[in-house]
């Protein structure tokens, strides 16, 4: 008897799982997705005015060969390559990213504060490794100046969660740290230093936005196994049954989950109390994505900008038309995609977000009031689950939840199925799905579910 693998969610993780099973010749699987489109948070949308939008700026880069090969095989030659051109807006000045390597762009008094802060932090001998939370880590690595001008306000704007309640263990290559010799050399030699990081070069689909990759991936799967518009409402883990919002049900032997872990646990009856409370302790933010389409030539060749200050609601804006000319209706148009996070710690007025975004673009120097007359499209998407926050309790909670789920034959991965921000990009998510699928179908070399 073949064992049926059910997959929840057709984002990169769920599609990665399904594709890998198919690739390995294991065909007793079925995927259920609540939306009537695939791609999850990596989906893209075309608005009624002909502008294409992602759910926030998606930058595609990876160190996984399998992922890169797969994406290139899906896109063929239909992609564009970009070099990151990224800036930070501070004190009415544009500072190239990474901020700390380019503080020579700041007014002199602020430069001095940043340098003295770095020196104090170094002389203080505070060991960032022993910092208890993200705030202490930031102060120990960057010192007061850089922390106050950029790191702390920016991170609060993104995460919508106090940095003192976040762990520091997710940082690795997600935050550019600092080399004081390099900072001083850049200031004194008037040198730009913009190359840091894994995403300094990236590719983007020629048409259809980031979501095109996942539409094409889904296109390689048998249609009848990809069940769209099917929301899992409850998981009866004892009987190994899924119950859908439309009242129907399905059996499974193994379950690969990519829906948010807290929602999965809430949808399961008779979960041990410590697992239920661990799931309730997981923290996430939401992001309001506002697209602004403008009938003008694009004024800059930039990719994206960071906004730590309080004069605008968004933490990041992308010149999305610069990623592909097909992201706009035609020549003579450009587009700005703006992201504003929210949470109980940082409530946002959702109803007024378009006007506040436009006002913020003016305050931040990206649009003039006259430019606003050329806005021809506004588009809003509310991503309720956007960033899985690395809270102080997270790792303990995840160990309890994942261990219990595995006992119940449920394997959970992906951005919110895994809830680990440091492994929650498209490539991580797809690879986790693919790898879990292989392990579930083939335990080592032993087939635990028949091919």
Q: Residues binding ligand FAD: what is the number (CB under 6 A)?
A: 36
Strand, coil or helix: what is 179?
Answer: coil
Which two three-digit tokens encode residue 203?
Answer: 């590719």
Burial label for 416, CB within 10 Å (0-12, 13-18, 19+), is: buried
Is 258 one of the binding residues for ligand FAD (CB under 6 A)? yes
Which two three-digit tokens encode residue 370?
Answer: 């006259």
Phi/psi for 259 (5° steps) reads -75, 165
Which residue number, 193 or 339, has a Cβ lying nearer to ligand FAD?
339
d(CA 86, CA 369): 24
Minimum CB distance to ligand FAD, residue 234 (Å): 9
Exactly one of 6, 7, 30, 41 binds ligand FAD (CB under 6 A); which one? Answer: 41
Exactly one of 6, 7, 13, 354 binds ligand FAD (CB under 6 A); which one? Answer: 13
d(CA 313, CA 375): 19
Alpha carbon distances (Å) from 320 to 66, 411, 413, 438? 27, 35, 29, 36
Is 383 one of the binding residues for ligand FAD (CB under 6 A)? yes
Interhelix angle 426-441/65-75, rounded to 10 degrees, is 110
Cis preceding-peptide flag for 59 (omega within 30 of 0): no
Radius of gyration of the chain (CA): 23
Is 163 one of the binding residues for ligand FAD (CB under 6 A)? no
Considering only the stretches 31-39, 76-84, 115-123, 137-145, report the one whose residues sit in contact with ligand FAD under the rule CB under 6 A: 31-39
Is 124 one of the binding residues for ligand FAD (CB under 6 A)? no
Considering only the stretches 57-65, 304-312, 328-336, 369-377, report the one whose residues sit in contact with ligand FAD under the rule CB under 6 A: 57-65
Interhelix angle 65-75/211-219, rounded to 10 degrees, is 80
Question: Which H or E run includes 93?
Answer: strand 93-96
246: closest CA among 257, 231, 236, 259? 231
Exactly one of 5, 7, 55, 175 binds ligand FAD (CB under 6 A); which one? Answer: 55
Exactly one of 6, 7, 8, 178 binds ligand FAD (CB under 6 A); which one? Answer: 8
Which residue number, 105 or 421, has a Cβ lying nearer to ligand FAD?
421
263 CB-near residues (< 8 Å, 6+ apart): none
Minimum CB distance to ligand FAD, residue 203 (Å): 11
d(CA 146, CA 180): 12
With beta carbons less than 8 A apart as the criterion, state whether 148 and 90 touch.
Answer: no
Minimum CB distance to ligand FAD, residue 118 (Å): 28
Is 75 one of the binding residues for ligand FAD (CB under 6 A)? no
d(CA 249, CA 252): 10
Minimum CB distance to ligand FAD, residue 415 (Å): 4
Footprint on residues 214-253 left by ligand FAD (CB under 6 A): 231-232
Considering only the stretches 28-36, 161-169, 360-368, 393-401, report the one whose residues sit in contact with ligand FAD under the rule CB under 6 A: 28-36
Minimum CB distance to ligand FAD, residue 405 (Å): 15
Minimum CB distance to ligand FAD, residue 88 (Å): 17
Is 255 one of the binding residues for ligand FAD (CB under 6 A)? no
Footprint on residues 167-206 left by ligand FAD (CB under 6 A): none
Is 313 one of the binding residues for ligand FAD (CB under 6 A)? no
Token pair 């001998």: residue: 125
With beta carbons less than 8 A apart as the criterion, state whether 65 and 58 touch.
Answer: no
Which residue number, 20 or 104, has a Cβ lying nearer to ligand FAD?
20
Is 337 one of the binding residues for ligand FAD (CB under 6 A)? no
Is 259 one of the binding residues for ligand FAD (CB under 6 A)? yes
Residues of this chain that bind ligand FAD (CB under 6 A): 8-14, 32-35, 40-42, 55-59, 231-232, 258-259, 287, 339, 383, 386, 414-417, 424-427, 429
């Amino acid at each position: 008897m073949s064992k049926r693998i059910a997959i929840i969610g057709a984002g990169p993780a769920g599609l990665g799982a399904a594709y890998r099973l198919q690739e390995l010749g294991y065909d007793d699987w079925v995927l259920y997705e609540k939306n009537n489109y695939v791609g999850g948070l990596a989906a893209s949308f075309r608005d009624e005015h002909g502008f294409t939008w992602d759910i926030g700026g998606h930058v595609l880069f990876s160190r996984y060969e399998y992922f890169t090969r797969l994406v290139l095989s899906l896109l063929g030659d239909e992609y564009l390559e970009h070099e990151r051109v990224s800036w930070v807006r501070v004190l009415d000045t544009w500072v190239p990213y990474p901020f700390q390597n380019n503080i020579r762009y700041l007014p002199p008094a602020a430069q001095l504060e940043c340098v003295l802060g770095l020196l104090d932090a170094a002389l203080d001998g505070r060991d960032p490794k022993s910092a208890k939370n993200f705030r202490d880590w930031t102060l120990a690595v960057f010192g007061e100046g850089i922390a106050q001008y950029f790191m702390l306000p920016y991170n609060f704007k993104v995460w919508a969660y106090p940095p003192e309640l976040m762990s520091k263990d997710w940082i690795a290559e997600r935050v550019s740290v600092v080399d004081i010799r390099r900072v001083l050399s850049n200031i004194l030699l008037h040198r730009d230093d913009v190359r840091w990081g894994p995403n300094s070069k990236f590719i983007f689909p020629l048409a259809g936005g980031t979501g095109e990759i996942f539409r094409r991936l889904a296109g390689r799967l048998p249609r009848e196994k990809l069940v769209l518009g099917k929301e899992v409402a409850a998981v009866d883990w004892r009987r190994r049954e899924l119950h859908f919002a439309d009242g129907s049900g399905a059996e499974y032997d193994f379950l690969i989950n990519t829906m948010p872990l807290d929602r999965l646990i809430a949808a399961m009856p008779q979960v041990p109390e410590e697992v239920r409370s661990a799931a309730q302790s997981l923290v996430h933010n939401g992001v309001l994505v506002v697209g602004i389409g403008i009938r003008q030539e694009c004024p800059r060749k930039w990719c994206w900008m960071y906004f730590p200050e309080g004069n605008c609601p968004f933490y990041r804006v992308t010149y999305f038309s610069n990623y592909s000319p097909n992201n706009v209706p035609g020549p003579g148009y450009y587009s700005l995609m703006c992201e504003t996070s929210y949470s109980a710690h940082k409530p946002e007025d959702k109803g007024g977000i378009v006007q506040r975004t436009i006002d913020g673009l003016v305050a931040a120097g990206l649009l003039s009031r006259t430019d606003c007359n050329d806005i021809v499209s506004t588009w809003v998407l509310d991503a309720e689950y956007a960033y899985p926050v690395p809270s102080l309790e997270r790792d303990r909670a995840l160990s309890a939840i994942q261990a219990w789920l595995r006992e119940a034959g449920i394997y959970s991965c992906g951005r919110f199925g895994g809830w680990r921000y440091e492994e929650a990009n498209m490539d991580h998510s797809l690879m986790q799905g693919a790898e879990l699928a292989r392990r579930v179908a083939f335990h080592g070399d032993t087939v635990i579910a028949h091919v």
